[in-house]
Structure 1
Amino acid sequence: MAFHDVRFPTAVTRGSRGGPERRTEIVVLGSGYEERNSRWADSKRRYDAGYGIKSLDDLHAVLAFFEERRGRLHAFRWKDWSDYKSCAPSETPAATDQAIGIGDGATAAFQLVKTYGSGYAPWSRTVLLPVPGTVSVAVDGVVQDPETYALGTNTGLVTFLPGAVPPLDAPVTAGFEFDVAVRFDTDRLEIDLSDFDAGSIPQIPIMEVRL
């Protein structure tokens, strides 16, 4: 499966619906107690972009995007307006938002992650698609010059250049915006032109993919 490094029309994603999904198996015992097992270590997102189409121009943009992706064949970027920052949606990302590692004086590469929760069982989400120009990195609380590290925009890896490797026991943190890797979950779009001024596609299922 190929990945196209292009973002689905953001005006449409703003009006979409969806969110995280997990896979849990539950067995109810004869005693009434339950045994629960998580099939997935990480959640996956599902969306419906049909709700976001407000005009014929929106419909045309989605149709063109669908055709270029060849339906379900190619994955692409998706902006989840409910969760696209290292901080809360109303805040501005800061270099100290998310812990991404501890320096040891030798390790140069650190993976961007976003951690959810803090009490019982925090979950760290690997961030593979940071938005270029939005990432800031700090070592021991000091914001680093972007010239001292390289950013993998399709891997989420922050790689410090020689001479800038974080020293022993120095916390490495980052702030960023990010996208989700998704694909269409259909090979067919059903276009409704009964409302000629706007038009609609009742359902455009989108699902997150693992890269």
Structure 2
Amino acid sequence: MSGFEAFHEVLFPVAVSFGATGGPARRNEIVLLTSGHERRNARFADSRRSYDAGTGLRSLEDVHDVVAFFEARRGSLHGFRFRDPFDMKSCRPHETPAATDQPIGTGDGTSAVFQLSKTYGDGADAYRRPVAKPVAGSVRVAVEGIEQLAGTQFGVDHTTGGVTFVAGHVPVGGAAVTAGFAFDVPVRFDAERLTVSLAGFRAGQIPTIPLIEILP
């Protein structure tokens, strides 16, 4: 069963997420040969992000909000949106998304649907990350550098990250399709219980609230 089949389109408390720690992880296999050389293989094609939201708690109100959110998601049962404080736009953090930020495909005159994605690096070594949870109202799209009109020339599925061009506006063969957007990360709680001590919290002890990315 896909992780998105048990997903709530709600956002984890932003005030807490902006104090979280975490980032991407890779699973690689490194074999040391008898010659002393290494052989390295990627076990998975995509990275997977994990976070600890416990470091974002600043008040008892934050604790209350997270506990309520945990209960509403039934622990790890349902996924939800998380605003990654380090990587949440198609551009650099201080910039505003532009319609030409990220390549998302090339027109062939027939295909009307393009998947939002973000590319890291350049050339043959670049990694293209699918973006499934764009922020509503943030997606901008261009064809051959000309920005398109949302709702008139294209639509966006904010639950999958699919961009669909309206009939009569499908990109022609060879046309570069680009997009800019803000986005959330689909995650779930990576624990079946939360342990928060009021005395410990006042003493500065930070509870652990692990979150793990749900891959499409």
Q: TM > 0.5 between the two? A: yes
Contact 1:78 1:179 in 2 (8 A): yes
Q: 2:114 aligns with which of 104, 110, 115?
A: 110
Q: Aligned pair 1:51/2:33, yes or no? A: no
Distance in 2, matches of 1:43 and 1:133, equals 27
Distance in 1, matches of 2:175 and 2:125, equals 25
Q: Aligned pair 1:140/2:164, yes or no? A: no
Q: CA deviation at 1:198?
A: 8.8
Q: 1:171 aligns with which of 171, 176, 194?
A: 176
Count how many residue pairs are aligned between Structure 1 and Structure 2.
211
* Residue matched to 2:79: 75
TM-score (norm 1): 0.96
* Residue matched to 1:186: 191
Q: Which runs of 5+ in 2 are unaligned?
A: none
Bigger mean CA offset, 94-103 vs 117-126: 117-126
Aligned in 2, Cα 1:96/1:200: closer, same or farther, shift over 3 Å? same
Contact 1:59 1:201 in 2 (8 A): no
* Residue matched to 1:65: 69
Bigger mean CA offset, 146-155 vs 37-46: 146-155
Contact 1:191 1:199 in 2 (8 A): no
Distance in 1, matches of 2:207 and 2:88, equals 25
Contact 1:5 1:77 in 2 (8 A): yes
Contact 1:112 1:126 in 2 (8 A): yes
Q: CA deviation at 1:209?
A: 1.1
Contact 1:59 1:200 in 2 (8 A): no
Q: CA deviation at 1:168?
A: 1.9
TM-score (norm 2): 0.94
Where does structure 1 differ by over 3 angstroms across 4 or more consecutive aligned residues? 195-201
Q: CA deviation at 1:80?
A: 0.3
Distance in 2, matches of 1:57 and 1:195, equals 15
Q: CA deviation at 1:170?
A: 1.2
Q: CA deviation at 1:206?
A: 0.5
Q: Aligned pair 1:152/2:157, yes or no? A: yes
SS of the equivalent of 2:62 reads helix
Identity within the alignment, %: 57
Q: 1:18 aligns with which of 8, 22, 40?
A: 22
Q: CA deviation at 1:119?
A: 4.3
